[in-house]
A and B are shown apart, each in its own frame.
Chain A
Amino acid sequence: MGYGKYLAYRLSNALLVLLIVTFVVSILFTKVADEQLRSSIQEQINLRVRTDPNLQKLAKSDPQALEEWKEREYKRLLHAYGLDKPYWQRVIERTKDTMLLRFGDVRSAIFGETNVRKIIAIAIPRTVLLFTTSSLIVMFLGLALGIKAAQKAGGLFDRALSVFAMVTTSIPMWWFGMILILIFSFKLNLLPSGGMTSIPPKTGFAYYIDVLKHMILPLTTIVFVSFGGWAWVTRNLMIGTLQEDFIMAARAKGVPENRVIYGHALRATAPPIITMTIFTLLGSLNGAILTESVFNWPGMGRLYWVAIQQMELNLIMGLTYISVALYLIGVLLADLAYGYLDPRVKVGVSQQV
Chain B
Amino acid sequence: MRWVDVKDSLANFWFEFRRQKGGLLGIALLALLVFVAIAAPFITSPDIPQKWKLPWEDTPKAVPPVWYNWFAGKQLAPHKEYTFNDIKLLVNGEDLGGGMRYYKLEFTYDFKYDVPPTNIIIKGINVKLQDINTKANIIITVHRPDGKSIEVYSGDLIEGMVIQLAYDDISRNNIISWASQFESQKDLASIVPSTIDVMKVLFAKAQPGILVNPQPLKGTYKFDIEIYTFNPGDKVDFNHMKVIFTGRTYGYMGTDTMGRDIWAGLVWGTRISLIIGISVAVLSVFIGVLYGVASAYFGGWTDEMMMRFQEFMASIPTLPILILLASSFHGHVTLGIIVLLLVIFGWVGIARVSRSMALQIKEQTYVEAAIALGAGSGRIVFKHIMPQLLPYAFAQIALSVPGAILTEAGLSYLGLGDPTAVTWGQMLHDAQAASATINGYWWWVIPPGLAIALVSLTFVLLGTALDRVLNPRLRRL
Contacts and interface: CB of A to CB of B under 8 A. Distances in A.
B458 to A, nearest CB: 8
Nearest to B457: A170
A5 interface: no
Interface in B306-333: 307-308, 311-312, 314-317, 319-321, 323-324, 327-328
20 contacts: A17-B311, A28-B324, A154-B477, A166-B457, A170-B452, A170-B456, A172-B449, A175-B449, A178-B437, A179-B445, A185-B437, A186-B437, A187-B440, A236-B476, A239-B476, A240-B476, A293-B414, A320-B317, A324-B315, A352-B303
B120 to A, nearest CB: 32
Contacts of A327: 315, 317
Interface stretch (B55-63, B258-266, B402-410): B402-410
Main SS class of interface, A: helix
Interface in B165-182: none
B477 A21 contact: no
B464 interface: yes
A186 to B, nearest CB: 6
Interface in A168-185: 169-172, 174-176, 178-179, 181-182, 185
B443 to A, nearest CB: 11
B189 to A, nearest CB: 35
A352 B304 CA distance: 7
Given A18-B315, A178-B437, 18 more contacts: A17-B311, A154-B477, A169-B402, A172-B409, A172-B410, A172-B449, A175-B428, A175-B445, A175-B453, A178-B445, A179-B445, A181-B437, A185-B437, A186-B439, A193-B438, A320-B317, A320-B320, A324-B317
Given A186-B440, A290-B414, A172 B320 contact: no
Contacts of B440: 182, 186-187
Contacts of B319: 289-290
A157 to B, nearest CB: 13
A17 B461 CA distance: 36
A308 B304 contact: no
Nearest to B454: A170
B347 interface: no
Given A166-B461, A166-B464, A308-B324, A286 B317 contact: yes
A16 to B, nearest CB: 8
B108 interface: no
Contacts of A14: 315
B316 A21 contact: yes
Interface in A252-277: none
B413 interface: yes
A323 to B, nearest CB: 5
A320 B320 CA distance: 8
A229 to B, nearest CB: 10
Contacts of B402: 169-170
Contacts of B452: 170-172, 175
A171 B453 contact: yes
B7 to A, nearest CB: 32
Interface in A226-241: 236, 239-240
A166 B448 CA distance: 19
Contacts of A20: 312
A174 B22 CA distance: 26
Contacts of A176: 449
A187 B477 CA distance: 43
Interface of B: 22, 303-304, 307-308, 311-312, 314-317, 319-321, 323-324, 327-328, 402, 406, 409-410, 413-414, 428, 431-432, 437-440, 442, 445-446, 448-449, 452-454, 456-457, 460-461, 464, 476-477
A120 to B, nearest CB: 13
A319 B432 CA distance: 25
A13 interface: yes
Given A186-B438, A289-B319, A294-B432, A169 B477 contact: no
Interface of A: 13-14, 17-18, 20-21, 25, 28, 32, 153-154, 158, 166-167, 169-172, 174-176, 178-179, 181-182, 185-187, 193, 236, 239-240, 286, 289-290, 293-294, 304-305, 308-309, 316, 319-320, 323-324, 327-328, 331, 352-353
B453 A167 contact: yes
Nearest to B461: A166
Contacts of B312: 17, 20-21
B65 to A, nearest CB: 16
Most buried by B among A13, A176, A289: A289
B449 A171 contact: yes
Given A20-B312, A171-B449, A327-B315, A166 B460 contact: yes
B423 to A, nearest CB: 12
B323 to A, nearest CB: 6
A73 to B, nearest CB: 30
Contacts of B460: 166, 169-170
A185 B439 CA distance: 11
10 nearest interchain CB pairs?
A170-B456, A175-B449, A170-B457, A153-B477, A182-B437, A170-B453, A171-B453, A323-B317, A181-B437, A166-B460
A104 B437 CA distance: 38
B192 to A, nearest CB: 28
Contacts of A324: 315-317
B319 to A, nearest CB: 6
Contacts of A323: 317, 320
Contacts of B457: 166-167, 170
Contacts of B324: 25, 28, 308, 316, 320
Of the candidates B307, B315, B453, the one having the most CB atoms from chain A within 10 angstroms of its own CB is B315
B410 A174 contact: yes
A28 to B, nearest CB: 7
Contacts of B308: 13
A328 B311 CA distance: 10
A327 B312 CA distance: 11
Given A166-B464, A290-B413, A178 B449 contact: yes
A294 B431 CA distance: 12
Given A171-B453, A239-B476, A193 B437 contact: yes
A328 B315 contact: yes
Contact of A319 (B316, B320, B409, B442): B320
